[in-house]
Amino acid sequence: MSMTITEKIMAAHAGKDRVSPGELINCRLDLTLANDVTAPVAIKEFSKLGLDHVFDPDRVVLVPDHFTPNKDIKSAELALCVREFARSYSITNYFEVGKMGIEHCLLPEQGLVLPGDMIIGADSHTCTYGALGAFATGVGSTDLAAGMATGECWFKVPESMKFIYHGKMRPWVGGKDLILYTIGDIGVDGALYRAMEFTGEAIQDLSIEGRLTMCNMAIEAGAKNGIIAPDEKTKAYVEKRAKRPYRFYYSDPDAAYAEVKEYDVSRIEPQVAFPHLPENSRPVSEAQGIELDQVVIGSCTNGRIEDLRIAAQIIKGRKVNPRLRVIIIPGTQEIYLQALREGLLEAFVEAGAVVSTPTCGPCLGGHMGILAKGERALSTTNRNFVGRMGHPESEVYLCGPAVAAASAITGMITHPEEVMGGAD
């Protein structure tokens, strides 16, 4: 019987020939993940089990990225809890400050998540790794504790939705714009507990970075996971990083889907999501002229080297508008170094932006750019809920790196062509 890529990965990890939507199964895990906010809760629950070992110290990943470097005493205590657990249980993949990065940028970079994997993380954006052809989803900290102990987790097999993107993208349009447009179409609950499978020639044209961005925001449509079938780009990306075997899975041509959506990407402009939901997505042409207090370029959604290159292409040789603050956050130390070597950081600083060490920072209202009452930010992050980046009476607009960079120059939401004169 035919299956989707999501169903095939789940069946393989459940030791079954096939699975069907709605079926409850127990799956073997390839990787478990937690950060400095979610790991302490999982560690507390894990300690109740009375175990002296995790299921595999090589397959538990701990990344203190949300409030690190520590911003206050409470965050320092959370980080200490994670650090001591990593030492006590000989966790191989614990990333201390200086080595750490934003978790969903770091794990693909380090070759820790691979095609065909079954991955859970105590962070909702764990769905990012579906860009490599893996099943990856966020779970609660108690489920994560059980996963660290047993190497297994139970799931209800989700229905799958197929999203087909036809045509060629316009200049300055990328993965962030495609996913914002999609969420704007189906809504923040439009894929509730479903697998979002992205396909079509426009997806094939996307870089791995662009694909990671799209799968990262599957959760913003309520999805259980986002996934893209692996191809030659995937192979080139993971081949030089993988430290263990991996497997490519593909949906059968006659696999059943709960729904199929098709889009002509040549009709999609760069997108901006208005407050206070990612589904409030509109073309940038409908947002032009909205004045800003802050621009943020970074996060697990758009903190990769491609994003920084796009931003630098627009910002280099220009000046940040004096009415606002611009914060650039490379996703990992490796990305930071690459941006340094390419002169991107120099371009940002000379323009009047500030460059941060890798951290989630302002995305969750943590630190490095909190908004005051009445302030308005444009950000390449993934959520713009009420109070997400600071004061409940502040506003967050979402966009891709090109729109963010152009807007940093003008001081208001701006199409990149306004700054670049139509150049791509």
Give the CATH number, domain containing residue 286. Answer: 3.30.499.10
**pLDDT number for residue 422:** 59
Question: Residues 339, 192: one domain?
Answer: no
Q: What pLDDT is recorded for position 365?
A: 87
What residues are paired with 33 via a beta bridge? Answer: 61, 121
pLDDT, averaged across the chain: 96
Residues 56 and 102 in one domain: yes
Same domain flag for 187 and 253? yes
Please say which residue of 231, 246, 263 terminates a domain.
263
Tokens of 309: 């290159």
Residue 278 main-chain phi, psi, to 5 deg: -60, -20
Same domain, 56 and 197: yes
Q: Which two tokens stand for residue 329?
A: 């956050």
Pair (176, 52) in one structural domain:
yes
Residue 422 lies in a domain: no
Looking at residue 366, its pLDDT comes to 87
Domain span including residue 91: 5-263
Q: What is the pLDDT of residue 421?
A: 80
Same domain, 259 and 275: no
Predicted pLDDT at 68: 87
| Number of domains comprising the chain | 2
| H runs (alpha helix) in 262-363 | 299-302, 305-315, 333-341, 344-351
Closest to 341 (Cα-Cα) out of 351, 352, 330: 330
Residues 213 and 343 in one domain: no
Amino acid type, 423: A
Domain for residue 383, yes or no? yes
Between CA 109 and CA 25 the distance in angstroms is: 30
Burial 312-321 (b: 16+ CB within 10 A, else e): bbbbeebebb
Residue 322 covered by a domain:
yes
Single out the residue in 239, 263, 287 at which a domain terminates: 263
Residues 354 and 408 placed together within one structural domain of the fold: yes
| 424 domain residue, yes or no | no
Whether 18 is in a domain gets the answer yes
In a domain? residue 303: yes
- In a domain, residue 423? The reply is no
Q: Which of 219, 247, 263 is the last residue of a domain?
A: 263
Closest to 29 (Cα-Cα) out of 201, 147, 172: 147
Clarify whether residues 292 and 242 are in a common domain: no
Torsion of CA 230, 222, 123, 44, to 10 degrees: -130
3-class SS letters over 305-322:
HHHHHHHHHHHCCCCCCC
Query: Do 197 and 256 have their domain in common?
Result: yes
Do residues 243 and 392 share a domain? no
Asked if the peptide bond before residue 392 counts as cis, ω within 30 degrees of 0, the response is no
Query: Mean pLDDT for each 10-residue chunk of the chain (424 residues)?
Result: 96 97 98 96 95 96 94 95 96 94 97 98 97 97 96 97 97 97 97 97 97 98 98 97 96 97 97 96 95 97 98 97 97 97 98 96 89 97 91 96 98 95 58
Residue 249 lies in a domain: yes
Same domain, 98 and 225: yes
